[in-house]
Amino acid sequence: MSGAELIESDVVRVQKCCESFELMIDRRCVHQNDSDIEPWTPMFTSETGHDNVQVPAFKFVIGIPECGSRQQWPIYHYPGAQDRLSLLPSGRLRHYISHHENDDVEGTLPVEGKEEHHRYYYEYDLGTYCLDKTKVVQDKKIEAQYAVVCAPEVSPNWNNTDYLIRRLVDPVLHGVAITCFTTVSIIYFVLPQLRDLVGNIISTVTTCLVACQAADLVGIFVEYRNHFYCFCLPTDTVKYVSLLAAFFWLNSMGYYIWKTFRSRNVFLRVTDGRKYCYYSMYAWGSTLTMTLVALLAHFFLDTGNPMSQPSSIKQDNVGWLGIAMFFTPVGFTILVNIFFYLTTGQIINRMSTYGRIHHKMKYNFDMFVKLFLVMSLSWLFLLLSWLKFDALVYCHIGANALQAPLVLYICVLGQKRVRILLRKTCCYEGCPCTCCRPGPPQEGMDWGEEMMTMNTAHY
């Protein structure tokens, strides 16, 4: 073997994110002359943890790692950080995690590695990482070591209770919720007697909740499946847009009931179909407007933490500013719905007598109040789950699991007229189940039929 080949074999290759004369500042590579940070020189650490190990020579390989289907993940190493980076003499990068791998610490790479002195670590080969120097802000601006790694696959831990709840129980409960919401939506869409304005709104609300649950279900599997990382932003967007639309439609329902009780003449010339178009313009228009504002805030205004990743790394979740744009209108609709509840309740209590239309609207008001209470509590638990306490996350999972069955009970099982309509439509005299056989015919029209006649007649 020649001397030149021997020297080449001893050269340690280190992958640097930016060029040798550049540093990573504010998400981009900046010439070191334009920064007050000293040039970065790799410092090697031995397998046993001894610092400043000397190597014969090293060579930079420039560029962000091409992770393919795996997620790119930023890591910061600075005094007091939970993560520590060590560059081994072999050119491999070792990432230490000071907390237990099951602790839910935001911004920490979920890996299953080896344990050393109660610190978990994972090693990355050349081509799956890059290193550089950057600037972070704590009490003051300090220099930090910055790495971009290709996240490893995480193998399931079926012996862990937290893993089972988050990765098995929660998806199953999401499936149950989708089934319940879909059932309500189909019933109110198919049965002609229920296709008045309130019925159409309920069908739309539950359809939005189906989309929200489906997007959240996809997000559960995406979170720790790195080859699907590109779907995180779309699934988050669909989830928040659907939830926002559901609350705008619930707000429309409250306004319609409130306006009906305040009106002296309930026999209006405007049909349910035309009113549904008006409310659609409000609900979908408001949802679309706030979605555009949230996305603009996410992509152009949400600068995030100064320790954020470079522009070459995709933002795979909606940022906090974007989330605020989605959830602030929900809070306002809740306040407006509380106003509708209080004022409509006062009007009903002052009414000594009311006709059949008001009688039906009173049942719709009760249904609105129950839906509003269930959806608002579920939304509140969703907010609390972001505090990253396991107990609050479990409460959110439980509240989300109860929401759909409660909506099914409020809109279908708890409504006697809906049960009667289902028996008329779906059951027959020879049905083996006696409780499902249709009852004796009743005189007069159902409430839904009367409303349809009222709203389509010409006066």
What does the pLDDT average to over 45-71? Answer: 83
- Assign 3 a pLDDT band (cuts: 50, 70, 90): very low
Give the chain's mean pLDDT: 79
pLDDT of residue 108: 40
What does the pLDDT average to over 13-22? Answer: 88
Taking the whole predicted model, whether its pTM rises above 0.85 is answered as: no
pLDDT of residue 247: 97
Give the residue with greater pLDDT, 245 vs 441.
245
What does the pLDDT average to over 393-420? Answer: 92
Residue 203 CB neighbours (<10 A): 21
Share of the chain above pLDDT 70, in %: 75
Give the highest mean pLDDT range of 60-69, 92-101, 110-119, 435-444: 60-69
pLDDT of residue 450: 44
What does the pLDDT average to over 79-102? Answer: 77
Give the residue with greater pLDDT, 381 vs 66.
381
Domains, the chain, ordered by start: 11-150 (2.170.180.11), 161-456 (1.20.1070.10)
Q: Minimal CA–CA distance to 134: which of 19, 37, 15?
A: 37
Examine the pLDDT at 354 and tell me if it is beyond 60: yes
Give the residue with greater pLDDT, 132 vs 37.
132
pLDDT of residue 140: 59
Examine the pLDDT at 306 and tell me if it is beyond 50: no
pLDDT of residue 424: 80
Distance of alpha carbon 172 from alpha carbon 159, whole angstroms: 18
What does the pLDDT average to over 426-442? Answer: 60
Examine the pLDDT at 279 and tell me if it is beyond 80: yes
pLDDT of residue 437: 59
Give the residue with greater pLDDT, 101 vs 238.
238
Examine the pLDDT at 187 and tell me if it is beyond 90: yes
Give the highest mean pLDDT range of 102-111, 114-123, 201-210: 201-210
Q: Minimal CA–CA distance to 186: which of 454, 440, 426?
A: 426
